[in-house]
Structure 1
Amino acid sequence: MLLPSLAKKIIQEVRRLIDEDVIIVDISGTIISSTDNDRIGSFHEGALLSSHERRNIIITKDMEKSLRGVKAGINLPVFFQQKVIGVIGITGEPSKVAHYGEILKKITELLIQESYYAEQIEWNSRALEAFVFDWLQAKDWSPVFYDRAAIIGIDLSVDRQVVLGSIKNSANIAEREIWNQLQQRNHKDNKNFYIRWGNDRFMLLLTGHTKDTILYNLQQLKAQLEADFSVQISLGVGKRVCAKQLRKSFNQAERALLVAKREKKIIFDDDLKIEMLLQEINEETRTEFVSRTIAPLISDGELLQTLRVFIEENQSIKNSANTLHIHINTLHYRLKKIEEITNLDPRSFEDLSTLHIALLLLGEHPKNKELNASSL
């Protein structure tokens, strides 16, 4: 069935090619779209004949008197999967517009095919998304669940590994284009699946790869998406599990993604150490710990950056000063300032450990948006 919305799109595309009036008619003979809006909804007997007889119908001036709703021109049946689904008509002197006919007919049929396959891809995408959501929630698998997996093409007998991706700084149009690119990968890969997971996230279900191969492939994917769409891609990778434990790998990927978003890179859950423990701390405790330790520094980006570099350089005064491009005396002054503000001495191993944990927790602190906005 040819819908009015698609017919309108076809008219808009065809209008760019010719100046003559064009109509799209359904198989009942009703005009559903036209360059002349006054004709929409009216009956066209010539198009009805073209549909029933499955052939081109040329309308002459004389035929305008005997056929209802027609104008001189040509009507061509539009086929999809060997069935007539509508008629395209071009108004004008038949001898002048006839040579446009077959070209416009082919363009129309191509647009219909494109629309059909786009709808199929969208349907498959939504079916896959709904199935994986149920997969993550299900405790027992019913026969219907197995049937759905078979229809989608998912083998439930193999181990799976969840990867969660986050898209940052993207416009809505960029997200659609990113998703279109990921959908194309689904058509090329019948073992791994790419799934839309909300507006700014996506999921990959991987199977049968080594860690090095997964890292390489994800690095390629990240680089390509970031180059093509000017976005920031972060990826968290769970461990490989049997299909019935997919939720476990999903939770691991979520945990890894939290760290990946902070560091703007690819993080495997099995590489997490102290971060693994920190993710188990509830929000109230996180906030309270930050408030008791590092909160007074949040408004001072310079001191926070100094503390981070000091930790990254393993408390080396010389290396830290070089990285920060400051004099060693300036670094000593800043470290002393941090101690005065927090009552924690960054030159003490115990206090520095506390400050390090506080920095890691700071990513989830309510004031962190303020921090991210500053130039660190």
Structure 2
Amino acid sequence: MIKPELAESIISEMNHLIQEELIVADTSGTIIASTDKSRVGTFHEGALICIREKNTRVITEEDQKTLKGVKAGINLPVFFQNQIAGVIGITGDPGRVSPYGEILRRMTELLMNERYYSEQVEWRARALEAFVFDWVQKSDWTEEFISQGELLGVDLKLERQVLIGHCSSEKEGMISHQTLLDLMQSFTNETADVFVRWGNDRIVILMAGHKKKERTHHFAGQIRDYLKNRYGLDLSIGIGQPASPQHVPLSFQQAERALNTAKKTKGIVFDDDLRLEMLLKEIKKETKMEFVSRTIRSMEHERELVDTLQTFILQNQSFKAAADVLHIHINTLHYRMKRIEELTGLNPRHTHDMTILYLALLFLDEQPKKE
């Protein structure tokens, strides 16, 4: 049966093409949409006859006198999946409006099929999101979980590698359902990869099979380039290690860990490339906050000193290179380093103290985002 909201959409679309009064009636003969709003909700006997006869019904001026709720024109049955879904009618002289009838019916049926397809695709996308969420949250598989995977066409026997992409753009909507559908149509032909949205700013990809690292990196790069070129979105990607189907949750955790590093450079990072980051991820938030308090809290609001220290570290502790990047005299840089030592009690020239300062800066960068 045609739903009222779809009927309204059909009337709106058709009214741009045909400058005649139009109606859409459901299978009970009740008008559910019309260019004449006063007719909505009224009974149309001609539509009911059309449904019973499963054929086009011409409404003459004589019929207006005997049939309830009708006007001269033509009524046409609308079919969906070989069943009558409703009736669309054109009011006017039958001889003049009849040529539009078949065109109008075909267009109505196309709109219905298009809407149905869109709803089915969206339903599957949402069901897939919920399924993947369950998959990465638990290690035990119930019969219901396995059946749902089969229903959604997900092969639960394949090895998987999890990729998580984070969109840092500020565009409204960011990764919409349509964006995801475009991605899937472009990258999942003849593959068993699974794509789902993870909120408005993330996508999760369960890549099927164990592929070479170079190929996985190339695939991730194609995803980034596609979103950048088509939608202007900047994507950072974290990639977990290949895992058996039951160990997908572990690959997901690894991808999240890699993503935390990838977001700093807006790049592509593999979990197996992480070193220090593996340890830092395991440190509790409270411990990190306490560490910052004991080290660089006194210079936290001295933005010039924080930027200087970060630049000094990025330039591999080269005074000349850091001074060049900061556009300051090398003596000014020495003065700032001395000032950092006075405030923190840590000497940036000593390896032990520099390690502490480096960790403190990493933890300081995390705190505004988490708090």
The TM-score with structure 2 as length reference comes to 0.92
SS in 2 for 1:304: helix
Per-residue deviation at 1:40? 0.9
Change (3 A) 1:299 1:35: farther
Of 56-65 and 225-234, the range deviating more from structure 2: 225-234
1:31–1:40 Cα contact (<8 Å) kept: yes
1: CA distance, partners of 2:83 / 2:143: 36
2: CA distance, partners of 1:26 / 1:76: 12
SS in 2 for 1:150: helix
Q: CA deviation digits over 1:45-85, x for unaligned, max 9?
A: 11122222222222222221121111122212112222221
Map of 2:195 onto structure 1: 194
Per-residue deviation at 1:251? 0.9
1: CA distance, partners of 2:33 / 2:369: 55
2:124–2:152 Cα contact (<8 Å) kept: yes
2: CA distance, partners of 1:280 / 1:42: 67
Map of 1:359 onto structure 2: 361
SS in 1 for 2:367: coil
Change (3 A) 1:130 1:174: closer
Of 283-292 and 148-157, the range deviating more from structure 2: 148-157
Unaligned runs of 5+ in 2: none
Letter in 2 for 1:233: L
Aligned residue runs from structure 1 range 310-321, under 5 A: 310-321=312-323
1:262–1:363 Cα contact (<8 Å) kept: no
Per-residue deviation at 1:119? 1.2
2: CA distance, partners of 1:50 / 1:205: 51
Per-residue deviation at 1:18? 2.6
Map of 2:73 onto structure 1: 73
SS in 2 for 1:111: helix
Letter in 1 for 2:361: L
2: CA distance, partners of 1:35 / 1:177: 31
Per-residue deviation at 1:134? 2.4
For the pair 1:265 / 2:267, whether they are aligned, the reply is yes
Letter in 1 for 2:346: L
Map of 1:214 onto structure 2: 216
2: CA distance, partners of 1:173 / 1:306: 35
Per-residue deviation at 1:132? 2.0
Change (3 A) 1:35 1:333: farther
1:22–1:91 Cα contact (<8 Å) kept: yes
Per-residue deviation at 1:367? 7.3
2:26–2:85 Cα contact (<8 Å) kept: yes
For the pair 1:39 / 2:35, whether they are aligned, the reply is no
Letter in 2 for 1:175: S
Count of aligned pairs: 369
Q: CA deviation digits over 1:325-374, x for unaligned, max 9?
A: 333233323333333333322222222111111122223213789xxxxx
Of 202-211 and 286-295, the range deviating more from structure 2: 286-295
1:186–1:194 Cα contact (<8 Å) kept: no
Map of 1:55 onto structure 2: 55
2:192–2:207 Cα contact (<8 Å) kept: yes
Letter in 1 for 2:232: S
Letter in 2 for 1:179: L
Letter in 1 for 2:233: V
Q: Which of 204, 217, 241 is the matching residue for 1:239?
A: 241
Aligned residue runs from structure 1 range 4-43, under 5 A: 4-43=4-43
Per-residue deviation at 1:25? 0.8
Letter in 1 for 2:65: K
Map of 2:157 onto structure 1: 157
Q: CA deviation digits over 1:115-146, x for unaligned, max 9?
A: 11111112211222222222234443333333
Q: Percent identity?
A: 49
Per-residue deviation at 1:4? 0.8
The TM-score with structure 1 as length reference comes to 0.91
2: CA distance, partners of 1:97 / 1:343: 90
Per-residue deviation at 1:266? 1.6
Per-residue deviation at 1:183? 4.2
2: CA distance, partners of 1:106 / 1:15: 15
